[in-house]
Structure 1
């Protein structure tokens, strides 16, 4: 039996990272704050590079609850398991850099929905999914999704601030159970992207050590521009690039 070839990520960004641009939602949530849908990632570290405006990112982690101010020039990143909520202040604009391009788009993100939703994979999938496109129906569904995530998030935050990390730990375990079946797909994407990129660097170092830098003959440049603007992401309206492994495929509007 011949095994299927490993997928190959063509022309990855440096380090095989993912890239998008975000402006947090300006919809007011139950606690009076405008912003995105709280969630965590299971294996990817995420970074925000603030390019304009003001706002904040709220995080829940073993360190407790933090409210980190964001303004032009700010850089903040958070590791797997950190619940994060992007908050809109005044025209906040962020460039998002995501480790392991392709994994978040393959499901490496779990919303902080209430426990009853997290315990039912079908209910979770229904609450997390959005209709295609960027029209009113998609906007309404994105807002409902955000509000449900905030509902669960506020309970986690209240307990953590009170010194009880039990609900937060339980949410992490529930998130891990939800994504367990996706791990084989993630592993293939990781091998094709981040791991393959690191291995190429190792081969290039070997070539330099041997005085045979043949890979330099393949030098070239690539360019790209956003292929969809204003899509509904987890945290806000998102500009996407059709780069392999970095953003989900979408149909022209």
Structure 2
């Protein structure tokens, strides 16, 4: 007999990505990825191996945090962050609100005139290496995008270190203008896939308080494979993603 049951969503409506941080050296001598912020999602880094650091810019100023194996660091929406690889840095990125980052939640720190212009921003942010690109072409496009993001980031960093937050405030404002048109779609995604996870737990607790356990009938084991067997070029490194689980 075949039993049909509801497939459990991945815990907490989060998304997982394994990230081998780029070892490409930038103009300042540091290796790493493209600085950016997330507008609606908290991100966490669990260090699987290697060493590095995260630079951050918030309303409180500029900070730098070392990374070593088994470190866990997370940062909330609006935190401009740059991940730096000082030696084989490999992390598991855990992203709140799985689906929103993929729908454009991240904004790269390009120069102010680019971030203020949606068309220019879209061109700069697109990983465009032409049709059927070779790995070398994709790497070159990712490097070009990284360096463009660093150009704007260094200006923001210098301003924050000087105690001048006008540039950071402008970037925040323009970043929100860039994503504002996407928010209705994000709200639909939230209402359909993310908020129900918390509501479902609330119902389970209410049932358990009454001695009920009907949700146990849907118990099961789920498994998912990586979305791709090989890592792909991302903003900060070579990515391997996992999506919603299916039955084992």
**TM over 0.5, shorter chain:** yes
Query: Is 1:51 equivalent to 2:52 in the alignment?
Result: no
Which residue in the other structure is 1:227 paired with? 227
Which residue in the other structure is 1:192 paired with? 192
Runs of 4+ in 1 over 6 A off after TM superposition: none
Would you say the 8 A contact 2:35–2:108 is kept in 1? yes
Residue 237 of structure 1, CA deviation: 0.7
Query: Is 1:63 equivalent to 2:64 in the alignment?
Result: no
The 3-state SS of whatever aligns with 1:29 is coil
Residue 134 of structure 1, CA deviation: 6.9
Which residue in the other structure is 1:239 paired with? 240
Query: Is 1:17 equivalent to 2:14 in the alignment?
Result: yes
Q: Distance in 2 between matches of 1:239 and 1:181?
A: 28
Select between 172-181 and 21-30 the one with higher mean Cα deviation.
Answer: 21-30
- Render the CA deviation track for 1:88-130: whole Å, top value 9, x for unaligned: 1110110000000000000000000001111111111111011
Unaligned runs of 5+ in 2: 1-5
Match of residue 110, structure 1, among 107, 110, 114:
107
Would you say the 8 A contact 1:134–1:230 is kept in 2? no
TM superposition score normalised by structure 2 = 0.91
Match of residue 91, structure 2, among 94, 98, 108:
94
TM superposition score normalised by structure 1 = 0.89
Q: Distance in 2 between matches of 1:134 and 1:220?
A: 42
Would you say the 8 A contact 1:134–1:232 is kept in 2? no
Which residue in the other structure is 1:128 paired with? 125
Select between 125-134 and 218-227 the one with higher mean Cα deviation.
Answer: 125-134
Which residue in the other structure is 1:250 paired with? none
The 3-state SS of whatever aligns with 1:163 is coil
The 3-state SS of whatever aligns with 1:72 is coil
Would you say the 8 A contact 2:55–2:81 is kept in 1? yes
- Render the CA deviation track for 1:72-96: whole Å, top value 9, x for unaligned: 0101000100001110111011000
Count of aligned pairs between the two proteins: 236
Residue 10 of structure 1, CA deviation: 6.1
The 3-state SS of whatever aligns with 2:223 is coil
The 3-state SS of whatever aligns with 1:94 is strand
Q: Distance in 1 between matches of 2:134 and 2:49?
A: 24
Which residue in the other structure is 1:249 paired with? none
